[in-house]
């Protein structure tokens, strides 16, 4: 399934692959990868038991994605250890790791959907024309239900940080 003109990128309508994720539904399963002494996987099952925020970005190499990642890192410092926080993109795990080290990102893990884009399709945020993930934020409660879902209408705009963090606090 595809959703034509679901978002815009610099004003140009873009198509998203997959169905939109809705609040209240079971969070779709996924496998993303990170680098820590080798490539390792993160799945939905790895995140159960704690409320989780998934900060989805097109690429850490862009200004807005950098701002989003740093802002959530800062906002989540008070919740560190009590929640799961993952930044998801199609950047390679090695580049994501390097970025987090350089920018002192300590309150978010990173996960790359580069291998098969199953996260992007499962969460309905894979931009078909660009083969990048649309800017979005999902909060999953400790039982695996979607508590918050925001797909930012214009990919180059920032998400609603306050609403996402508030939903995360309520989902604990």
Give residue 15's pLDDT: 98
Q: CB neighbours of 25 closer than 8 A, spacing ≥ 6?
A: 145, 146
Phi, psi of 14 (to 5 degrees): -125, 155
Region 84-94: mean pLDDT is 97
8 pLDDT higher than 90: yes
Instruction: Please state the rounded mean pLDDT for residues 141-160.
Output: 97
Q: Domains (ranges, CATH) in the chain?
A: 2-171 (3.40.30.10)
CA distances, 95 to each of 2, 22, 60, 112, 155 (Å): 29, 31, 8, 10, 21
Using CA atoms, how far apart are residues 1 and 157, in angstroms rounded to an integer?
25
Residue 21 reports pLDDT greater than 90: yes
CA 139 to chain centre: 9
100 is catalytic: no
Answer yes or no: is pLDDT of 80 > 90: no
- 27, 56, 57, 65: which one is catalytic? 65
Question: Model-level pTM?
Answer: 0.97
Tell me what the mean pLDDT of segment 126-134 comes to. 98
Q: What is the mean pLDDT of residues 46-63?
A: 96
């Amino acid at each position: 399934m595809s959703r034509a003109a679901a978002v815009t990128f610099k004003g140009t309508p873009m198509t998203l692959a997959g169905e939109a994720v809705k609040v209240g539904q079971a969070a779709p399963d996924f496998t993303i990868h990170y680098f820590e002494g080798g490539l390792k996987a993160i799945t939905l099952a790895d995140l159960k038991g704690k409320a989780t925020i998934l900060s989805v970005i097109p690429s850490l190499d862009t200004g807005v994605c950098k701002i989003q990642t740093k802002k959530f890192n800062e906002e989540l410092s008070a919740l560190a250890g009590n929640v799961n926080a993952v930044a998801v993109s199609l950047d390679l795990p090695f580049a994501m790791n390097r970025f987090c080290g350089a920018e002192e990102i300590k309150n978010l893990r990173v996960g790359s959907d580069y291998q098969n884009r199953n996260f992007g399709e499962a969460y309905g945020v894979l931009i078909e024309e660009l083969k990048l993930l649309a800017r979005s934020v999902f909060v999953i409660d400790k039982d695996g239900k979607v508590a918050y879902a925001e797909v930012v209408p214009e990919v180059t705009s920032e998400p609603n940080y306050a609403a996402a963090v508030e939903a995360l606090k309520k989902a604990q």
